[in-house]
Structure 1
Amino acid sequence: MPVKNDLQDWSMKIPYSNTKSKETDYRFVGIGWGDKGFYLDTPTWADLKFSTAFKAAFWLSESAMHCTYYKEMKEGEDCKKIMISRNQYKDLVKFVDEKFDKDAGGNYVLVPTNAVYGNNDAFYDAKGKYSFLDTCNTWANNALKAAGQKAAWWTPSDYGIFLHYK
C-alpha cells in the first residue's frame, strides 16, 4: 500500500523510527499478520523448531503484525499490483487497522525486538490466534475480500490467493 495518501498515513501509526534504518523516504508499506513466535524465533526455515511450529498450528501462541517499508515495489510472481477504489481502500485500511493491538491512546503496540528481517521493518502486537486453519495467507485473503477484490473462499496458503491473480 502507499505509505501516505489523502486517506491514510501509515507512517503516523507505524513510525519510521521503529525501523533500524529510520529512513523516511519509503513510498510503500507491506503489512502482514502471523504467528508472533514464528516471526521472532524463525529467521529462516532452517531455524524452525518443532515447538514453534506446534504452538503456531494449534492456537498456543500470540500473533503479530509484520510491517515492512519499501522504496519501490516490483511486480512478479509473488507481488501483484491491484487497483482499488477509494471506498475499497477505506475498507482495506479498516480491516488492517482493526487487527493491530492498541494501547490506551490508540497507538499500535510495538514489539521490542532485534529479530527483524531487515533495516526497514518492525513488528507490532496483534489480535487473534494463528493456527493451521487461520494462517497469514487466510488473513491476506480476508483483506482482499474486505477490499472487494478477487479472493478464495478460504485458503491456508498463498496458492489460493495467487490463483486469482495471474
Structure 2
Amino acid sequence: MTIVKKILRMIAYSALTLVALLLLYLLSAFTLSRISTAREKDTRPEMAIYILTNGVHTDLVVPVKSEYIDWSQYIPFSNTSSKDTTAQWLAFGWGDKGFYLETPTWADLKFGTAFKAAFRLSTSAVHATYYRMMSENKECRKIEISKAQYARLVAYIRNTLDTTAGGMPVYIPTTANYGKHDAFYEARGSYHLFHTCNTWANNGLKSCGQKACVWTIFDTGIFYQYK
C-alpha cells in the first residue's frame, strides 16, 4: 500500500504541476497581450495595411503592388486555383505546416499534429490569400503607416518565406487550400507554444513600428490593441 500511495501521490503532484503551468501560461498570455508597445511617433499615413482574423488566426494584409514590391511576381496568381489577376490585396499568415495542410477543420486535428506543433517538432508554412478588396469590420482593421515602415514590413515578410537559390518563395503543391484564391509556401521559423501564428503577426506589426502586444499567442490580443 505504501508503494501504491507513493505512486498515486507522484501522479497527483505531476497533474497539479501541469495544471499550474498551464494556468501560468494562459495568465501570462492574457496579461502580456493587454500591454501595448507604443506606435512610432510621427508616423505618416502614407499607405494602408490591414490585420484580418478568422476568429483564431491573424493575417497581415498588404497591397499587391506598390513602389516597393509587386507581390504577384513572388506569389504568382497562377499558384491559386482561380488564377484571378484582379486582386488588389494579399494576406499573409504564418503557422505550423501540419496544421495548415492536415487540419482543414478542428474535427480533423490529430494528437500527433498538435504535439509536434506545440513542441517545435515540425516545419512551418506561409498561407497567402488574394483579395479583390478589403472592408473594415470587427474581424478586419485598417492601419495607416508610412512608406518607410511598409518597406520594413516587406522585409519582415520576405525574411519569413523560405526561398530558392534564386530568391523565389518555395511553393507547396497541395489540395488543402481554403478556397480559390490562396496558396501555401515553405517558411522559416518554428511554431511552438510560445511562438504561434499570432505571435508572428504581432511581431510583424512591431517590425514596422505599429502598436502591438508585448507578447501574444492569440488573435484577441492583437485586436484588443485596435478596438
- Asked whether 1:6 is paired with 2:93, we answer no
Match of 1:105 among 166, 183, 192: 166
Count of aligned pairs between the two proteins = 166
Match of 1:64 among 120, 125, 143: 125
For residue 145 of structure 2, give the secondary structure of its aligned residue in structure 1: coil
Q: Determine the structure 2 residue equivalent to 1:146.
A: 207
Q: Determine the structure 2 residue equivalent to 1:90.
A: 151
TM-score (norm 1): 0.98
For residue 67 of structure 1, give the secondary structure of its aligned residue in structure 2: strand
What is the CA distance between 1:47 and its match in structure 2?
A: 1.2
Match of 1:77 among 105, 121, 138: 138
- Structure number having the greater strand percentage: 2
Q: Determine the structure 2 residue equivalent to 1:28.
A: 89
Structure 1 unpaired stretches of 5+: none
- Structure number having the greater helix percentage: 2
- Cα distance in structure 1, aligned partners of 2:128 and 2:72: 11
AA of the residue aligned to 1:106: G
- Asked whether 1:125 is paired with 2:125, we answer no
Q: Determine the structure 1 residue equivalent to 2:20.
A: none
- Cα distance in structure 1, aligned partners of 2:65 and 2:76: 12
Cα deviation code 1:89-143 (max 9, x no counterpart): 0010000000000001110000111110000000000001100110000000000
Task: Please say which structure displays the higher CA radius of gyration.
Answer: 2
AA of the residue aligned to 1:102: T
Say which is worse superposed, 7-16 or 43-52, in terms of deviation: 43-52
Q: Determine the structure 2 residue equivalent to 1:115.
A: 176
For residue 84 of structure 2, give the secondary structure of its aligned residue in structure 1: coil
What is the CA distance between 1:50 and its match in structure 2?
A: 1.2
Please report the RMSD computed on the Cα atoms of aligned residues, expressed in angstroms.
0.7
RCO comparison, higher one (Cα < 8 Å, 6+): 2
User: Which of structure 1's runs of 4+ aligned residues deviate more than 3 A?
Assistant: none
Q: Determine the structure 1 residue equivalent to 2:107.
A: 46
TM-score (norm 2): 0.72
For residue 51 of structure 1, give the secondary structure of its aligned residue in structure 2: helix
- Cα distance in structure 1, aligned partners of 2:65 and 2:106: 33
